[in-house]
C-alpha cells in the first residue's frame, strides 16, 4: 500500500510521490487505474476527512443538547426485562442483559456479551416502507419538517441514539450513504460523511454506544449499475475503492469492531456480455487492496464478507458461504476475512441459516450474523425479524459451540412490514427479535450443559473411535480393503439414524 499521512482521526493516502511509488511497485492494471484517478484528483485521499493541520477543527464537537432535538419516542419508556410471565409487549420476556449464562467448556458471560445485539441504521431510520410495487408508507418524525440534507442526517443520528438508549442495545451498524448524503463531488460527499461521523463519535462516547460494523453502499447509485469492484469500467473500480477507503476510515474513527463487504451488484445478469474470470480477478485485487489498507492504517477490526446468491443481480459471486470461502482461498485472503451470514440470504441460496453458520464455523470463519428471516412463501429478500424460538436455538447451538461470536454480534438487518407505520412498531419488532435470540441462547446453553444431544450424535460415529479407525491418517486403501474383506457385510447390522428420536430430544427443551 502507498505511504500514509495522518489526517486527525482519519488517515489518508500519501502525496503524489507516494501514489506514483505504489504504481511503480506493480499494482497491475487495476492499481494503475486507481492511482491514475488519485493523481487526477477524483479520489484525493479521502478529501473531506479531518486534516492534521486543522486540529482545532478536529477537536470541535457536535454535541446535541436535549433542547435542540425533539424526543422522537416520548411515548415509550426504557424497555425492561419482566420475565416469561409478562404480558407487556413493551418488555423483554427472555432477554435480561446483565444475567449470566454459563456453558460447559465456554465459561459464563452476561447475555449482552454472548449476543452483542446491534440496530441497523438503514432499516430502522431510513426504511420508508416502499417496495417495487408501491411508494413509501412511513412518515417518520425525524424526517418531518423543512431541513436540508445534512440537518436531516444529524436529526436521524440523534433519533438513533435515543432509540438505542430506550431499547438497551449497545451497538449499531451503518452504510456510509445512509448516515450522510452524497454531495455534488466525492470531496463534498466525504465532507458530509466525516461531519456526521464526528457527531456520531461524540454521541457514542456520551451514551456509551459502539459501532459493530460499518460498510460502504456500493449498489444504489447509477455509477454502480454494472457493479463496483466488478464493473467493466476502471473509473468505477477506482471510485468504489475511494468510497470503501473513506468508509473504513469512518468505521475506524467510530471504534467499529468490524467492516463488512456486501457485493450487491458484484455479479452478472448475463454471461453473454460478461468476462467472469476478469471480474473475479478484479474483485480479488480489490479485496487484497482493502486488506492492505486496513493493515496500513492500523484498523484492528475484522473484515467480513456477506454472501448472497442473487438480487439485485442474477448471480452474485459470493453466492453462499462455501463459494465465498473458496473465493478467499483462491485469492490468498482466507486468513484476512471472515463471514457475515445473513439468514435470509442463506435461504435464498437454498440453505438453512443453520447450515450457513455451521459451514462458516467449522472453517473458523464465522464472524457475525445479520439475524433476520424470509417468508417461505415469498421468493425474495424480505428481511423480517426472526421470531421462531426453535430456529433461534439451532443457530445459538452453532455460535455457543464455537465459543461465541465476538468481536461480531447479532445485527438486526431486519425491517418493519410495509403496513407497520408507528414508531412503537420499531420497538415491538426489535423486542420480538431480541427475545427470540435470547430464548435460543437460554435453550442452547441448557442443551449443551446437559449433553443429551451431543451424546446422541456422537453415538452415530462411535465406530470411528474403535480399532484401526482412530487415526485415518495412518490408513490407506489397501489396508481398508483387507478390513472390508475380513468383516461381515455392514448392511446386516447398520444402525438406524433415529432422526425422529433426535427431533424429540431437541423438542424436549421447547
* Structural contact between residues 269 and 316, judged by C-beta atoms closer than 8 angstroms: no
> What is the 8-class DSSP label of residue 430?
H
Helix, strand or coil, per DSSP, at residue 504: helix
What is d(CA 242, CA 258) in angstroms, rounded to the nearest whole number? 19
Q: Name residue, grid cell 492534521.
A: 52
* Structural contact between residues 357 and 323, judged by C-beta atoms closer than 8 angstroms: no
User: Residue 352 contacts by C-beta under 8 Å, 6 or more apart in sequence?
Assistant: 346
What is d(CA 371, CA 365) in angstroms, rounded to the nearest whole number? 17
DSSP string, 261-327: E--TTSEES-STT--HHHHHHHHHHHHHHHHHHHHHHT--SEEEE---S-SSSSEETT-SHHHHHHH
Catalytic residue among 62, 123, 175, 345: 175
C-alpha cell at 289: 487492496
* Structural contact between residues 307 and 320, judged by C-beta atoms closer than 8 angstroms: yes
| Residues making up the chain, counted from first to last | 510
Q: Catalytic annotation on 430?
A: no
Query: In Å, how far from its chain's centre is CA 312?
Result: 18
> What is the 8-class DSSP label of residue 128?
-
What is d(CA 122, CA 456) in angstroms, rounded to the nearest whole number? 43
The helix or strand, by DSSP H or E, that contains position 102, with its residue range, turns out to be: strand 100-103
Angle between helices 423-450 and 149-167 (to 10 degrees): 40
Which residues carry out catalysis? 175
Amino acid at each position: 500500500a502507498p505511504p500514509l499521512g495522518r489526517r486527525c482521526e482519519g488517515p489518508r493516502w500519501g502525496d503524489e510521490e507516494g501514489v506514483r511509488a505504489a504504481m511503480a511497485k506493480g499494482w497491475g492494471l487495476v492499481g494503475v487505474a486507481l492511482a491514475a484517478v488519485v493523481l487526477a484528483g477524483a479520489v484525493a485521499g479521502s478529501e473531506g476527512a479531518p486534516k492534521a493541520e486543522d486540529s482545532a477543527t478536529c477537536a470541535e464537537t457536535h454535541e446535541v443538547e436535549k433542547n435542540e432535538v425533539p424526543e422522537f419516542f416520548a411515548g415509550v419508556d426504557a424497555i425492561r426485562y419482566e420475565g416469561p410471565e409478562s404480558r407487556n409487549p413493551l418488555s423483554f420476556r427472555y432477554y435480561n442483559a446483565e444475567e449470566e449464562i454459563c456453558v460447559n467448556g465456554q465459561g459464563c458471560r452476561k447475555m449482552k456479551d454472548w449476543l452483542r445485539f446491534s440496530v441497523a441504521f438503514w432499516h430502522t431510520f431510513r426504511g420508508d416502507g416502499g417496495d417495487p410495487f408501491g411508494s413509501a408508507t412511513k412518515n417518520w418524525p425525524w424526517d418531518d419538517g423543512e431541513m436540508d440534507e445534512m440537518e436531516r442526517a444529524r436529526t436521524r443520528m440523534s433519533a438513533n441514539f435515543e432509540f438505542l438508549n430506550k431499547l438497551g442495545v449497545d451497538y449499531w451498524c451503518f452504510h456510509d450513504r445512509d448516515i450522510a448524503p452524497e454531495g455534488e463531488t466525492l470531496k463534498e460527499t466525504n465532507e458530509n460523511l466525516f461531519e456526521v461521523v464526528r457527531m456520531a463519535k461524540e454521541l457514542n462516547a456520551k451514551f456509551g454506544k459502539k459501532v459493530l460494523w460499518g460498510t460502504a453502499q456500493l449498489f444504489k447509485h447509477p455509477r454502480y449499475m454494472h457493479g463496483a469492484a466488478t464493473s467493466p469500467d476502471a473509473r468505477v473500480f477506482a471510485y468504489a475503492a475511494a468510497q470503501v477507503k473513506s468508509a473504513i476510515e469512518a468505521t475506524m474513527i467510530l471504534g467499529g469492531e468490524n467492516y463488512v463487504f456486501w457485493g450487491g451488484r458484484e455479479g452478472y445478469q448475463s454471461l453473454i456480455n460478461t468476462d467472469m474470470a476478469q471480474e473475479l480477478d478484479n474483485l480479488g485485487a480489490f479485496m487484497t487492496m482493502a486488506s492492505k489498507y486496513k493493515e496500513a492504517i492500523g484498523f484492528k477490526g475484522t473484515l467480513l464478507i456477506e454472501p448472497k446468491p442473487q438480487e439485485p443481480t442474477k448471480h452474485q459471486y459470493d453466492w453462499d458461504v462455501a463459494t465465498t470461502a473458496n473465493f478467499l482461498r483462491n485469492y490468498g485472503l482466507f486468513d484476512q476475512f471472515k463471514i457475515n451470514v445473513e439468514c435470509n440470504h442463506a435461504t435464498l441460496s437454498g440453505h438453512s441459516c443453520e447450515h450457513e453458520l455451521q459451514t462458516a464455523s467449522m472453517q473458523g470463519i464465522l464472524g457475525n450474523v445479520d439475524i433476520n428471516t424470509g417468508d417461505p412463501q415469498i421468493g425474495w429478500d424480505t428481511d423480517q425479524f426472526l421470531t421462531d424460538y426453535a430456529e433461534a436455538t439451532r443457530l445459538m447451538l452453532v455460535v455457543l459451540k464455537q465459543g461465541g461470536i465476538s468481536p461480531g454480534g447479532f445485527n438486526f438487518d431486519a425491517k418493519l412490514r410495509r403496513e407497520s407505520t408507528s414508531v412503537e412498531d420499531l420497538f415491538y419488532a426489535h423486542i420480538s427479535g431480541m427475545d427470540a435470540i435470547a430464548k435460543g441462547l437460554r435453550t442452547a446453553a441448557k442443551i449443551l450443559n446437559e449433553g443429551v444431544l451431543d451424546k446422541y450424535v456422537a453415538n452415530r460415529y462411535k465406530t470411528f473411535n474403535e480399532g484401526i479407525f482412530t487415526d485415518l491418517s495412518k490408513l490407506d486403501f489397501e489396508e481398508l480393503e483387507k478390513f472390508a474383506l475380513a468383516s461381515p457385510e455392514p448392511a446386516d447390522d447398520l444402525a438406524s439414524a433415529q432422526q425422529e428420536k433426535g427431533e424429540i430430544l431437541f423438542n424436549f427443551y421447547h
